[in-house]
Structure 1
Amino acid sequence: MYRKILLPTDGSKNADKEIETALNIIDKENGELILLSVASNIITLQLSNEDDISNLNNLLSKNAEENVAKMKEKINANVKISTKVVTGSPAKSIIEVAKEENVDLIVIASSGKSGLDKLFLGSVAENVVKNAKNDVLLIHKL
């Protein structure tokens, strides 16, 4: 049984499978789930309006807050739950939070969002698996 599990979410439907798996392997009496969403920070371009960039970054942060809140609502179990939202590169941020929080396990879906996000960002799960010092449990997409 794992005592501290990190569940990163991007708001995709694969989060349900992550929750189910994590609840099956967590220490029910002493366990803690840390729900994490990463808000990507928009890079400022010289042609960009600073206010527009700031508004977009705020929108991304709000979306990340909503992701962890929705995930928390889906958990119907008597375990300690904490939420965390950070800004940065998704894979790098997941790895950093896992280290900072000293988690036993990262449970991550093999594929979250797709389309242009996936083309530009690469595979977050793949980067986490390759670079995390923590154990990683990869959940195949639905």
Structure 2
Amino acid sequence: MVYRKILIPTDSSEVSLEAARHALEIAKAMNSRVYAVYVVDIVPFIGLPTEGLWESMKVILEEEGKEALKKIEDMAKERGVEIKTEILEGTPAKEIVDYAKRKDVDLIVMGTTGKTGLDKLLLGSVAEKVSKRAHCPVLLVKKIEKNEEE
């Protein structure tokens, strides 16, 4: 399988950066085009007045997104991989799946927090939703705890 276009969704977490490292290595090996996105999650703010709190939170989240995407851009540059970045707004899983379709990507590489139990039931998992709804393969990268004895 050749992956011509790879999408890296990020949420600025360490596991999403680990996923980006995997995606960029695949992209380098296959000479793939890479897209990275950060989704400003509007769900917590639905129903709030658009001015005031939402506007200030949106600015903070967009800044977080710019920083997260800059880290991935720097990683891509180090590896000689071209990348296009974009900040999206909406429900993360839906925006990621829709973006992947629009760009006709062949592979989505993203981190997963490994939520279980009540957290998973209440919050759901963006990675799980993306993997179920995506039109292409999804590579989920989990955080690996370092064993202190090694």
TM-score by length of 2: 0.79
CA displacement, residues 89-133 of structure 1 (integer Å, 9 cap, x when unaligned): 1111110110011101000112189xxx97754200010111111
**Residues 1:6 and 1:51: Cα distance change in structure 2 (over 3 Å):** same
In terms of mean alpha carbon deviation, does 104-113 or 73-82 score higher? 104-113
Aligned to 1:124: 126
Q: Distance in 2 between matches of 1:14 and 1:136?
A: 15
Larger % of helix: which? 2
Amino acid at match of 1:18: A
- RMSD of aligned alpha carbons: 2.5
CA displacement, residues 49-84 of structure 1 (integer Å, 9 cap, x when unaligned): 832221112221222122111222233211211101
**Residues 1:44 and 1:66: Cα distance change in structure 2 (over 3 Å):** farther
Identity %: 39
**Residues 1:104 and 1:87: Cα distance change in structure 2 (over 3 Å):** same
Shift of 1:138: 1.2
TM-score by length of 1: 0.83
Shift of 1:10: 0.3
Q: Distance in 2 between matches of 1:32 and 1:18?
A: 16
Give the unaligned 5+ runs of structure 1: none
Runs of 4+ in 1 over 6 A off after TM superposition: none
In terms of mean alpha carbon deviation, does 121-130 or 59-68 score higher? 59-68
Asked whether the equivalents of residues 39 and 64 of structure 1 are also in contact (C-alpha less than 8 Å), the reply is yes
Give the unaligned 5+ runs of structure 2: 145-150
